[in-house]
Amino acid sequence: MTVLSHILGFPRIGLHRELKKSLENYWNGQCNKNDLLKIGRQLRMRHWQQQKDIGIDLIPVGDFAWYDHVLTNSFMVNNIPDRHRNYAGNDNVDIDLLFFVARGGYNNYKESIAASDMIKWFNTNYHYIVPEFVFGQKFELKWIQLLDEVDEALSLGYNVKPVLLGPLTYLWLGKTKGNKFNKLLLLDSLLLVYKEILEKLAKKGISWVQIDEPILVLELPNEWKEIFYHAYFQFKDNIQLLLTTYFDSISHQIDVIREIPVQGIHVDCTIKDNDLSVIHKKLPSNWLLSAGVINGRNIWCSDLYSCFKQLSLLTSNREIWVGSSCSLLHSPIDLSNEVKLNKEIKNQLAFAIQKCKELVMLRTALNEINDTQYQHALQQYSIHKCPRLNPSIIRDELVEVRLENIISTKHHRKHPYEIRKIVQKEYFKLPILPITTIGSFPQTEEIRKMRLDFKSGRLDYYLYCVNIRKYIKKIILEQENIGLDVLVHGEIERNDMVEYFSEHLNGFIFTQNGWIQSYGSRCVKPPIIIGDVSRRDNKEITVKWINYAQSLTNKPVKGMLTGPITIMSWSFCREDINPKIISLQIASAIQDEVMDLENAGINIIQIDEPAFRESLPLKISAWSKYLKWAVESFKVCSSLAKDSTQIHTHMCYSEFSDIIDIIVELDADVITIEASRSNLDILECFKEIKNFNSIGPGIYDVHSSVIPSVEYFTKRLYKIFKYISIERLWVNPDCGLKTRSWREVIHSLTNMVQAVKKMRKNI
Ligand code: GLN
Ligand code: ZN
């Protein structure tokens, strides 16, 4: 049987971030809707053609999204929250409404309307817009982007494989509004829409649909497991369905899966537990098996020869496709654009385009199994592309010895929080409800340009420092004017919270264009960890700037660091090194930085860990192993700090309720946590936990352009009081302010401070 190649999706943002740029231009009124639609069309066409030129057999269609594919799906089934739908006073379901749901804004009566919640997509750093469900809701086919794009691709002559987010994963990812109810009550109505779409696709001559049900890798409650059969039974005669899973193994659920009436399954073969020979034995013999052997989430070349040997045992017994493990949404686009990388390392990397080429090589060798030249080529590929990296580039004996010590020590602050609290109270003399921010201030065009000029050598180091100081001064002055209690220096020297630190660490390298979509128009450029990690020349990274900021004010200035789990998770790591080791090495470097800050007289230090939750394994049974070293890594950073040094941490855009007691275990003196997008739902958990330290639940959404009023803040505070006692409470926005304008920031923070000041008088 002929083996076919496919990928689960291509990055949509564009090699030069064209989608990002035109989205932002559109939002700023600098281009019109037609220009935006045109860019989208051009990107889709370019990506389809690139795949075809390389030789990919089935082209995914439906992987493109204007903001997020989960949001597209909500529109497809006409699931649009009333507060957004009614904003224009008419029933226009258009792209502006889509952006309104994603970003919030003002309705026709000048009332501010909150965006929908946004959280991370499984264990990735991609954020999706959370669907909202209400009891008794009915769905209907509304937004037919998928069908239009399928027509578009068919008319251009591509061999189309539509991509659809499966109904059960879609329901699972959403949250209920109003009185709690079982989301599965909505399933039947939802299935009608899916049925209609599948019928329409079948009419267009489509033979296979990739239907993504990544929740099948989770340890699902029985009720959810069992309903898969019922759901897919409804589609059984429509079209062939490739039930698509990724990010973890399905071995625990294979008995359930084999009963689902579909025609094929895709498994993520980068996961050890997904043993193809075992899965093959257990699957119905007439099912197609799509093997996701090329890692869609990392940038290293694949060991094609090993893949070949494993797959060649199956191809005579079963219909096989070879594919990327997951969508290439999580991979940068094209390595050939990188001209600055070390040759030896570049030779071992593969981005989306190169991954497509790998798939085609593998497919060809499997189809031409009797022609040894193709196997020989794979063998050569594996030898040349997957050697261990040169040890002299990547090993550092000192770091490795230190790691041994770190591993054999228990890391705790000297005294428990109850004692530290008293020391700190005396030391800082902060008012009740201390007010602070999460770290960054607006990153204007001017600041970005200045940083870029410095990087490219157009601005010398001296002038760069003069400039940075100028901005820090402005930021300190503004914060004093607004009346905040604990100030920050504003992070203007940082392009990105991970890239900045890794640029000052040994063991990291950087791409020029390795952009990945994080949410909406926002992209990140993850560094690559190639070897042992320590501070460059053992030199401080942040002290000079924080010190300068502190010299300008009598109020405490908080030192801002990125934590080890976040630095690791938002980088591409070696696949052959245990993540625990990488994380503890980074933690040692951050420990050094904490000590240098403390020695310089900085007594409040925030260690951001926004990736802490997203890096949790998807299977609950694997949590405790991860959490043990993740918590340890955080404590390595902070444990040597004096009692009077107040350690903060910050987390955001995740589902925290299930790890609250772990967050408590980090033993940070203050936790600031994003909570406003989810309407402070998280507070419920803090009610039950008695022994947590201080907490600053994010009080407003920084990712929306809405400026909250004094009344809004007052109401929020009253709500928070119900859950958290006043003496433990801090007041802060829910994340950094770098994406906002100065006008918005000054306005919002001033209202926030006003509300707190009034409140202090009342208490
Ligand atoms: N300190 C960072 C900032 O303010 C935190 C960002 C984040 O949580 N993602 O930008
Ligand atoms: Zn944040």
Ligand 1 site, residue 566, Cβ cutoff 6 A? no
What is the residue-wise DSSP string for 467-498? HHHHHHHHHHHHHHHHT-SSB--B-TT-SSTT
Confidence of residue 355 (pLDDT cuts 50, 70, 90): very high
Ligand 1 site, residue 212, Cβ cutoff 6 A? no
- CA-nearest residue, atom 10 of ligand 1: 736
Contact 247, 214 (CB under 8 A): yes
Annotated catalytic, 703? Answer: yes
Mean pLDDT taken over the chain: 95
Task: Indicate which ligand has the atom closest to the C-alpha of 609.
Answer: 1
Write the pLDDT tens digit of every residue in 259-282: 999 999 999 999 999 999 999 999
Q: Best of 120, 438, 565 to mutate for ligand 1, by most ligand atoms within 8 A of CB? A: 438
Tell which atom from ligand 1 comes closest to the C-alpha of 437. 4
Q: Quick check: helix, strand or coil at residue 705?
A: coil
Cβ-based neighbours of 102, under 8 Å, separated by 6 or more: 67, 68, 71, 115, 116, 118, 129, 520
Ligand 1 site, residue 442, Cβ cutoff 6 A? no
Place of tokens 């085609």: 360
Ligand 1 site, residue 438, Cβ cutoff 6 A? yes
Ligand 1 site, residue 439, Cβ cutoff 6 A? yes
Ligand 1 site, residue 560, Cβ cutoff 6 A? yes
- CA-nearest residue, atom 6 of ligand 1: 736
Give the span between the Cα atoms of 370 and 364, in whole angstroms.
11
- CA-nearest residue, atom 4 of ligand 1: 736
Burial of 82 (0-12, 13-18, 19+ CB in 10 A): exposed
Q: How large is the angle between the packed helices 304-312 and 352-367, nearest 10 degrees?
A: 40
Ligand 1 site, residue 652, Cβ cutoff 6 A? yes
The DSSP call for residue 129 is E
Contact 329, 11 (CB under 8 A): yes
Interval between CA 497 and ligand 1 midpoint (Å): 7
Q: Answer whether residue 44 shows pLDDT above 90.
A: yes
Task: Give the per-residue pLDDT at 705.
Answer: 83
Q: Select from 3.20.20.210, 3.40.630.30, 3.40.50.2000, 3.30.465.10 the CATH code of 4-69+131-391.
A: 3.20.20.210
Interval between CA 733 and ligand 1 midpoint (Å): 11
Cβ-based neighbours of 627, under 8 Å, separated by 6 or more: 616, 659, 662
Confidence of residue 659 (pLDDT cuts 50, 70, 90): confident
Domain boundaries, the chain: 4-69+131-391, 409-443+475-762
Burial of 544 (0-12, 13-18, 19+ CB in 10 A): middle
Ligand 1 site, residue 231, Cβ cutoff 6 A? no
Q: Quick check: helix, strand or coil at residue 204?
A: coil
Tell which atom from ligand 1 comes closest to the C-alpha of 738. 10
Task: Give the per-residue pLDDT at 89.
Answer: 61
Q: Answer whether residue 426 shows pLDDT above 90.
A: yes
| pLDDT over 90, % of the chain | 90
- Fold: same for 4-69+131-391 and 409-443+475-762: yes
- Give, in degrees to the nearest 5, the angle at Cα 321 between 320 and 324: 140
Task: Give the per-residue pLDDT at 90.
Answer: 62
- CA-nearest residue, atom 3 of ligand 1: 736
Ligand 1 site, residue 493, Cβ cutoff 6 A? no
Cα dihedral sign, 319-325-326-330: negative
Ligand 1 site, residue 610, Cβ cutoff 6 A? yes
Tell which atom from ligand 1 comes closest to the C-alpha of 562. 1
Q: Best of 118, 437, 440, 738 to mutate for ligand 1, by most ligand atoms within 8 A of CB? A: 440
Tell me which residue of 701, 704, 689, 703 sits closest to 752, measured CA to CA.
701
Give the span between the Cα atoms of 212 and 49, in whole angstroms.
23
Task: Give the per-residue pLDDT at 88.
Answer: 62
Write the pLDDT tens digit of every residue in 469-485: 999 999 999 999 999 99
Q: Best of 650, 702, 739, 749 to mutate for ligand 1, by most ligand atoms within 8 A of CB? A: 650
Q: Select from 2.40.37.10, 3.40.50.720, 3.20.20.210, 3.40.50.300 the CATH code of 409-443+475-762.
A: 3.20.20.210
Q: Answer whether residue 753 shows pLDDT above 90.
A: yes
Task: Give the per-residue pLDDT at 8.
Answer: 98
Interval between CA 652 and ligand 2 midpoint (Å): 5
Q: Best of 447, 608, 738 to mutate for ligand 1, by most ligand atoms within 8 A of CB? A: 608
Q: In this structure, are strands 646-651 and 604-608 parallel, antiparallel, or unpaired?
A: parallel
Write the pLDDT tens digit of every residue in 394-414: 889 999 999 999 999 999 999
Ligand 1 site, residue 440, Cβ cutoff 6 A? yes
Contact 276, 314 (CB under 8 A): yes
- CA-nearest residue, atom 9 of ligand 1: 610
Tell which atom from ligand 1 comes closest to the C-alpha of 497. 2
| Alpha helices per DSSP H over 117-244 | 145-155, 167-173, 187-203, 222-233
Ligand 1 site, residue 206, Cβ cutoff 6 A? no
Ligand 1 site, residue 611, Cβ cutoff 6 A? no
Tell which atom from ligand 1 comes closest to the C-alpha of 494. 10
Lookup: tokens for 604: 């409040």
Interval between CA 567 and ligand 2 midpoint (Å): 14
Cβ-based neighbours of 544, under 8 Å, separated by 6 or more: none
Cα dihedral sign, 679-685-690-694: negative
- CA-nearest residue, atom 1 of ligand 1: 439
| pLDDT over 70, % of the chain | 99
Tell me which residue of 82, 85, 101 sits closest to 93, measured CA to CA.
85
Give the span between the Cα atoms of 357 and 359, in whole angstroms.
5
Write the pLDDT tens digit of every residue in 124-169: 999 999 999 999 999 999 999 999 999 999 999 999 999 999 999 9
- Give, in degrees to the nearest 5, the angle at Cα 443 between 437 and 444: 135
Confidence of residue 489 (pLDDT cuts 50, 70, 90): very high
What is the residue-wise DSSP string for 611-660? TTTTTS-SSGGGHHHHHHHHHHHHHHHHTTS-TTSEEEEEE-SS--GGGH
The one-letter amino acid code at 220 reads L
Interval between CA 674 and ligand 1 midpoint (Å): 11
Q: Answer whether residue 392 shows pLDDT above 90.
A: no
Contact 646, 558 (CB under 8 A): no
Write the pLDDT tens digit of every residue in 497-554: 999 999 999 999 999 999 999 999 999 999 999 999 999 999 999 999 999 999 999 9
Place of tokens 């290439």: 328
Tell me which residue of 590, 574, 476, 600 sits closest to 534, measured CA to CA.
590
Ligand 1 site, residue 608, Cβ cutoff 6 A? yes
Write the pLDDT tens digit of every residue in 683-717: 887 777 777 899 999 999 998 888 999 999 999 99
Q: Best of 436, 494, 497, 673 to mutate for ligand 1, by most ligand atoms within 8 A of CB? A: 497
Interval between CA 566 and ligand 1 midpoint (Å): 11
Confidence of residue 458 (pLDDT cuts 50, 70, 90): very high
Task: Give the per-residue pLDDT at 339.
Answer: 96
Instruction: Select which of 69, 648, 703, 747 is catalytic.
Output: 703
The one-letter amino acid code at 376 reads H
Place of tokens 């990296």: 389
What is the residue-wise DSSP string for 559-619? EEEE-HHHHHHTSBPPTTS-HHHHHHHHHHHHHHHHHHHHHTT--EEEEE-TTTTTTS-SS
Distance of CA 390 to the CA centre of its chain: 31
Contact 489, 514 (CB under 8 A): no
Ligand 1 site, residue 502, Cβ cutoff 6 A? no
Contact 588, 639 (CB under 8 A): no
The helix (H) or strand (E) run that includes residue 405 is: helix 397-408
Give the span between the Cα atoms of 375 and 371, in whole angstroms.
8
